[in-house]
A and B are shown apart, each in its own frame.
Chain A
């Protein structure tokens, strides 16, 4: 009885957006309470839907319903919802974390005055985008919400662009970061759109883009495999943009220019998760080609590694977290890629051996989704903790912090829990999912291709680096001597901020255990001859304990994580190891490369903005001057006169005429040539 109302989940935040936009300024907290109420209501409905669906008769078959939206040619495009295990998990954690972030915003944005209305309206719309994307029943509907979210991220990242608390330079920075985020992700969106067109062309005989029709094995079998692979590669281009994967990862660290709550929202509950979600959602189409999945896996593994290196020496507390997000997203994509690779191989092979590969591969799906959920909890926690710190000391530079533990105990301890979780400390949530990710990469390496073994090695090194940079961050912030800014610390943040931290830290520690209580069945991926179904698998329960702790590689990662924490301790608390020794006090080539983010921003600048703008200027010049000039020489006499009036503006009228005549001449020649080519003459 609740599933029929799934459309309410995105609609409620949408209504909140309208209400806040129209009358928000007159309500207490400028619309803050409305936003919270909306998010909470969405969460409650999502919970009811999830409960009804998971206990209902239909489970694990997806429940989907749609109304015709419009018709183009003989294709009907629908609006509707699609509920399965993945939808349930995504809806629940997105709306839950968003609610906590909105509550936290009351404290964090408290001093922003009337501008809060804009803030709460935009975050509500942002949540609409994410929830809409999750419940969408077809690709076009998904794409629309996908773009709505992109638009909101542009507005939110640029939120500080008027009167940044840190002055004009920071305002300009926020403005350009917002634009960069928008344009870079848009590059991915173009790929996604092209991919949708390819799918539309490939599946035209089905007359729709609905998931339920497209994911049917019989319709997939009817499609041209090569076109399908092309389409999915293009779709994955959208994922690369949205989920900040290599080589389009660079917008995410810049997006830190927005308020910390927005970063938290973007990194944990929405936006970047959309890409991973899309990969998981379109899995039945992705797994049709092993090479596509290999590409996905390589992108994920490389991203995880490169992003982690850049976090090693960053001094900005939020940027360290941003790189860690990119790196963790890489893990998720790697898991989905590795698992999908095995499934694709297995389906190709067939027989008992094939089924074994498929069975091994689907664990990658669970691992990727599981890590996405755990990451949402601990990353939201970490960002909100960093927000609490920034709120108290007024800077993002970790060199000016230090010794904050005694000033803000709650923030310090909750952040420690979050850091332990992301570092993969045994029994914390990050430990479970990260080890599953590593295990599937390993397996794809041994049963599939050596590429995945390489990626596994990268991922293991990444695990070590993660533990190191997270604890470097924690020690620099909370331990050691008090820095310049710590001396002006206002003390612990208000209750509206610390309570969400405490709630989230419980989840950050314990959410790993969800997998023992049936989460793995809920987000399992089942391949049969007649359907691809998410959910309804067999739950392994406490078997995971046995599986992980009897695997020697688990101990390897535990040791590496502890080693990372230990080195960070020696360097930044004990100070017995001088970090300067490794980087020649910031003079080494590697240190510079990392500080420069492997020169990615410079490369972007050169290639896109400068080069692109240069072309535009060049074409403009050619359009206005060179063509005019050349033609002028050739045939300026054809249309004389008009000299008196032509000089004031940019163009000369006689030149325009000459261009037209030249155009006619060229087109005539082209026309005759084409006509001869086609044999029409």
Chain B
């Protein structure tokens, strides 16, 4: 289908425009109809339409450009697809969750959709300033969403913390961008990619400020400390949105800003980029290690998932160190599998909260008896996160780690040590995942009563289970597109 006849010069932004219209309409729909379910349905509809349009554009394979500032290539398409899937899952369960606000339904959906629009805007931007605008759109919407939770004072606190830390990060980012602009005289990514290579101490500080600012988004160590508090305080659909969606936006920025520089650097044979790559390798190793080790000591399942999320971000950061085409496609694929496994785990937590089960791991005792489906799904998600075959998490980790070993594309790399740290980490991680499985399947619960969870949750979880299995045994389904996306950058 030819979208240019409908969207004209703005075809590159078509999926984004559809969602933006939705975001603006939703408060009105709620105001007029006063029926949360109807608002929910409209939000879902817009998401679905946008998703379909994007899939058609992605499979079509044409690139579009709008006003020299937004480019739609395979990389944009795959990132946008990921954000849409996250949004779809988050909206799907929002109406049935007992945690979601009932006072500001219109605003809630509008913020959710608006935040996604921001992410999608980032994925196609080719200028530091437009990226900054997209990130801020997402951040500011997220601050509000985090505090919109019913009957829980922790939400307000989490919201305030998120705003303060977020504000600091924004300040660092814009400081970094201003320094880059001062040094190079441009904010266009393609123009600055070679100029950045002329490294001096000011440039180093500027880049580190940007790494810190966006590192906050992906919760990389040492910028990770807000994540457990916020994920714990926010409602489960919002935690899901932040852990699987917003984090990927940060990674997308890293790929767009830094990876492009690395590529330019390797073409010119500049040594400065290698220093940056080492910096990322150290951050990756720290992030996965701290995330996994601290996760062991957690007793609250949301906090445990938050730290495990930190660790997963560490795995994905490997691609910034390795910086090969294959690594990027593996990283993109891992981002996708992460959506389904981590998203699925948060969905199970959310569903169980609706059924009156707490957030402590000890509350999950005997779950296998009380709700076989939920327990089985949770087990699959956790084992997938731990990287046990034949689930999706294994396949994507296999791709990711083998890219660091360097055997796959025939180039031996210096990142073997990073791969070994990652493998060790994924062994450690099994310990805390197994603890939850043990609680569900092995320990005796206080009650044998069957649990009923809302239908929407069951559907969303079933979708995640399906993809966790399918992507495990047939990775080519998405991996082909990830390869295209990686090729679009290189």
Contact = CB atoms under 8 A, between A and B. Distances in A.
Interface string B172-212: 10000000000000000000000001011100110111011
Given A619-B293, A663-B223, A674-B279, A200 B205 contact: no
Instruction: Categorize the interface residue count of chain A.
Output: 35 or more
Interface stretch (A431-439, A521-529, A650-658): A650-658
Interface stretch (A51-59, A144-152, A367-375, A501-509): A144-152
Contacts of A74: 408-410
Nearest to B475: A70
A617 interface: yes
A494 interface: no
A112 interface: no
B465 to A, nearest CB: 14
B153 interface: yes
A677 interface: yes
Interface string A173-211: 011001100110011011001100110111111000000
B28 to A, nearest CB: 34
Contact of A197 (B160, B209, B233, B402): B402
B423 A200 contact: no
B407 A639 contact: no
B388 A151 contact: yes
B17 interface: no
B165 interface: yes
B444 interface: yes
Contact of B326 (A72, A612, A648): A72
Given A663-B222, A667-B279, A73 B408 contact: yes
Contacts of A449: none
Interface stretch (A155-163, A247-255, A268-276, A396-404): A155-163
A30 to B, nearest CB: 15
Contacts of A623: 225, 290, 294
A662 B212 CA distance: 11
A303 to B, nearest CB: 23
Nearest to B278: A674
A577 interface: no
B343 to A, nearest CB: 22
A357 B395 CA distance: 43
B272 A664 contact: no
Contact of A664 (B209, B275, B388, B443): B209
A675 interface: yes
Interface in B276-314: 276, 278-279, 282-283, 290, 293-298
Contacts of A662: 222
Interface string B386-398: 0011100011001
Contacts of B476: 70-71
Interface in B420-460: 420, 423-424, 426-428, 430-431, 434, 438, 441-444
Contacts of A620: 293-294, 297-298
A615 B479 contact: no
B199 A202 contact: no
A619 B199 contact: no
A593 interface: no
Contact of A663 (B158, B212, B409, B420): B212
A46 B361 CA distance: 45
B326 A73 contact: yes
A680 B269 CA distance: 11
Contacts of B225: 623, 651, 655-656, 659
Contacts of A664: 172, 208-209, 212
B470 to A, nearest CB: 12
B134 interface: no
A73 B154 CA distance: 46
B419 A197 contact: yes
Interface string A628-657: 000000000001001001101111011111
Nearest to B160: A645
B279 to A, nearest CB: 6
Given A162-B444, A663-B223, A670 B154 contact: no
Given A645-B157, A659-B222, A668 B204 contact: yes
Given A620-B294, A649-B229, A161 B164 contact: no
B64 interface: no
B1 to A, nearest CB: 30
B320 to A, nearest CB: 14
A179 B434 contact: yes
A374 B164 CA distance: 69
Interface string A515-538: 000000000000000000000000
B402 A200 contact: yes
A615 B442 contact: no
Contacts of A143: 389
Nearest to B425: A190
B153, B169, B275, B399: residue with the most chain A Cβ atoms closer than 10 Å: B275
22 contacts: A72-B398, A73-B326, A144-B390, A147-B389, A148-B389, A182-B430, A186-B430, A189-B427, A197-B401, A613-B297, A620-B297, A642-B164, A649-B154, A651-B225, A653-B165, A657-B168, A660-B223, A663-B223, A664-B209, A668-B205, A671-B207, A678-B275
Q: List the 7 shortest-distance A-B pairs measured between CB atoms, nearest first.
A: A680-B272, A201-B407, A73-B408, A616-B296, A663-B222, A674-B275, A144-B389
Interface of A: 70-75, 140, 143-144, 147-148, 150-151, 154-155, 158, 161-163, 168, 171, 174-175, 178-179, 182-183, 186-187, 189-190, 193-194, 197-198, 200-205, 612-613, 615-617, 619-620, 623, 627, 639, 642, 645-646, 648-651, 653-657, 659-664, 667-668, 670-672, 674-675, 677-681
Interface of B: 153-154, 156-158, 160-161, 164-165, 168-169, 172, 197, 199-201, 204-205, 207-209, 211-212, 216, 222-223, 225-226, 228-229, 232-233, 270-276, 278-279, 282-283, 290, 293-298, 326, 330, 366, 369, 383, 388-390, 394-395, 398-399, 401-403, 405-410, 412, 416, 419-420, 423-424, 426-428, 430-431, 434, 438, 441-444, 474-476, 479
